[in-house]
Amino acid sequence: MGGDCLNTGCVPSKALIKSARVVSQIRKAEEFGLRNATAEVDFAGVMERVQRVIKAVEPHDSAARYTALGVECIQGEARIASPWTVEISTASGTRTLSTRAIVIAAGARPFVPPIPGMDAIRVLTSDNVWELRSCRGGWPSSARPGRLRAGPGVRALGCRGDAGRDAAATARARGP
């Protein structure tokens, strides 16, 4: 369980934003009367922390936890058969459940626009960006992005690479 929010959405993006906030505050340290505070971004270290945060949250979002709380968790492919019935194909056969209300939480997947040439490059989406361990990883320098966009319009993830220096990464939240 956990879905997008745990694995590729809310949790990793907030963990990344936290790292960006910490480095931003360190860079503004003098405003707060703190001298000599410096920070160098270790992009791989930031992204490894993101994975550790996911692992730490995972048990709270698990089928085991919800089962212990009294929720019946059925794993399978669901199909709405009528306004009051849902059919679930599981490994052990099909079950039909009847209900007064059905909540559909079937998620979504990133849309990659059909721009010519897209199939020739490695496209980063909110699904796979979490695999990055280097801002340079996987791109020839000519194709390296100056800026990446992540999230449903409310998050921006910047990824800068300077010649001779390791890339710095920043993330910021926009809007409420």
Ligand X SMILES: Cc1cc2nc3c(=O)[nH]c(=O)nc-3n(C[C@H](O)[C@H](O)[C@H](O)COP(=O)(O)OP(=O)(O)OC[C@H]3O[C@@H](n4cnc5c(N)ncnc54)[C@H](O)[C@@H]3O)c2cc1C
Nearer to ligand X, 107 or 117 (CB): 107
Nearer to ligand X, 135 or 150 (CB): 150
Q: Closest distance between ligand X and the C-beta of residue 28, in Å? A: 24
Return the number of other C-beta atoms located less than 10 Å from residue 137's C-beta. 13
Q: Closest distance between ligand X and the C-beta of residue 47, in Å? A: 14
Nearer to ligand X, 29 or 173 (CB): 173
Q: Residue 111 carries which side chain, given as an amino acid letter?
A: F
Q: Closest distance between ligand X and the C-beta of residue 125, in Å? A: 9
Residues 6+ apart with CB under 8 A from 16: 46, 47, 50, 157, 169, 171
Return the number of other C-beta atoms located less than 10 Å from residue 16's C-beta. 23
| Site residues (vs ligand X, CB under 6 A) | 3-5, 8-10, 13, 77-78, 105-107, 126, 150-152, 155
User: Parallel, antiparallel, or unpaired for β 147-149 and 93-98?
Assistant: unpaired
Q: What is the rounded CA–CA span in Å between residue 16 and residue 139?
A: 21
Q: Closest distance between ligand X and the C-beta of residue 30, in Å? A: 31
